[in-house]
Amino acid sequence: VQILVVNTGSSTVKFSLVDSTSEQVQIAGQVDWSDHPAQMQVRCGSEHYSGKYAVNSPREAVQLALGQLDENPVLKARCSAVAAVGHRVVHGGTLFQAGVRITDEVKRGLKQLCDLAPLHNPINLEGIEAAQHAWPGIPQVAVFDTAFHATLPAAARTFGLPQQWSEEWGLRRYGFHGLSHAYCTDRASTMLGRRDLRLVICHLGQGCSLSAVRNGVCVDTSMGFTPLDGLVMGTRSGSVDPGLLIHAMRHHRLSADDLDRILNRESGLLGLSGLSNDMRQLQEAADAGNQRAGLSIEVFLHRLRQTIGATAAVLGGIDALVFTAGIGENSVPIRRRACEGLEFLGLHLDQAANERCRPDADIATKESPGRILVLRTHEDLTIVRETVRVLRAEGQPG
């Protein structure tokens, strides 16, 4: 059967039609309304369609995308066996720890979770409702970015805060990027031919997070109650001393909204460099002698190496270190620098393999006890697999 994967964001909707058996992507498209008019692009084999449309909301973007699949005769002919639509939903809270068929009750649950992920969940929900409206006969499934981390043991998921807060306010380390971490766990296990592995997975894109996985189960992760925690990112600060935030509120009169904006959108590589949140540009600038660009990369690397080391301690060693997402898949120097000094953990980088690598690849030396993998992430395949699992659990052909 085919699964239509829909990822509804604040300024783009990405969609793909995937054959669930071969896992081949048959149609891939995107509606981008960050500029007016919105741009839609769709690829189907060697065919390519693009056009400009008046779209102003996630709802209209999903309507446009599904409408296109209904109306364009070439695309319609390819959509002959769609069994379900699988939606990416950022936050499942403690209510949803695995994919779930969307019912009215599930939608009520998703609404309750909007407070936990105000930037993402309302938009995801809008995408779901638009798809239900456009394709009323097709089952819709929600797959959560937090679900992979639901297995975190209490010691790893609990903050050092009054327990009453945690209970009453639902505070815990939820973790994010789970679709990518789950995919990389499966892919690494397949490449290495075993599941009994201690994996450290570094998802380094605009957002960055790291997961510790033992025997296929996530036991720790760097993002926390929100996706702001942990590694230094494109525009997000990552972990900072919480006392610093109290200081900023008390002495510099920053409000919650100010802190939200600064920590989420004006910090990280962008805030450090004053130049860009794009690692490629920073590398070019640093190579040309720009010292702030150089420092921003050093801060990024320091936190990354520190977190890899901390995670190795949690796991009691590393069988494979995995790099994925934009920076992890593409940046030769970041991978090289991240692995510097990790030989004591049994991780020996093959410099030549790192330079010529095309993911998916193993870039550790032959003799290295631990492997170093570069994997192209496929979050959409986690959505397909989880959607099929939900259909099968209901006794439907998946």
Residues belonging to the active site: 145
26 Rama sector, left if φ>0, alpha if ψ -120 to 50, beta otherwise: alpha
Is 365 in a helix, a strand, or coil? Answer: coil
CB 171 within 8 A of CB 293: no
- Which of 284, 394 has the CB closer to ligand ADP? 284
Minimum distance of ligand ADP from residue 359's CB (angstroms): 12
* Nearest residue (CB) to ligand ADP, 134 versus 286: 286
CB of 325 to ligand ADP, least distance (A): 4
Closer of 44 and 327 to ligand ADP (Cβ): 327
State the Cα–Cα distance between residues 5 and 88, nearest whole angstrom. Answer: 8
Q: Are 42 and 48 in contact (CB under 8 A)?
A: yes
The residues with which 13 forms a beta bridge, in sequence order, are 8, 31
Q: Are 235 and 228 in contact (CB under 8 A)?
A: no
> Could you tell me the two tokens for 298?
């050093």
Residues 337-375, buried b or exposed e (16+ Cβ, 10 A)?
A: bbbeebeebbbbbbeebbeebebbbbbbeeebebbbbbb
State the minimum distance, in angstroms, from the CB of residue 246 to ligand ADP: 30
Taking the C-alpha atoms of residue 180 and residue 203, their distance in angstroms, rounded to an integer, is 7
For the chain, count helices (H), then strands (E).
16, 14
Other C-beta atoms closer than 10 Å to the C-beta of 292 total 14
Q: How far is the CB of 81 from ligand ADP (least distance, A)?
A: 29
Minimum distance of ligand ADP from residue 329's CB (angstroms): 7
Nearer to ligand ADP, 230 or 234 (CB): 234
> Contact 32/64 with Cβ under 8 angstroms?
no
> Which residue is closest to ligand ADP by CB?
326
Cα 310 from chain centroid (whole Å): 21
Determine the length of the chain: 398
> d(Cα 365, Cα 377) in Å, to the nearest integer?
23
Question: What would the two tokens of residue 221 be?
Answer: 């992760």
Q: How far is the CB of 369 from ligand ADP (least distance, A)?
A: 28
**3-state SS assignment for residue 140:** strand
Q: How far is the CB of 191 from ligand ADP (least distance, A)?
A: 20
Amino acid code (one letter) for 297: I
* CA–CA gap between residue 280 and residue 232 (Å, rounded): 16
Q: Which is nearer to ligand ADP, 207 or 224 (CB)?
A: 207
Q: How far is the CB of 323 from ligand ADP (least distance, A)?
A: 11
Tokens of residue 127, six digits: 């995408």
Three-class SS of residue 199? Answer: strand
- Cβ 270 vs Cβ 277: under 8 Å: yes
Q: Using the minimum distance from each CB to ligand ADP, give the nearer residue, 72 or 330.
A: 330
Residues that bind ligand ADP (CB under 6 A): 205-207, 234, 278-280, 325-327, 330-331
CB closer to ligand ADP, 30 vs 331:
331
Pick the closer one to ligand ADP by CB: 319 or 379. 379
Count of CB atoms situated within 10 Å of the CB of 81 = 12
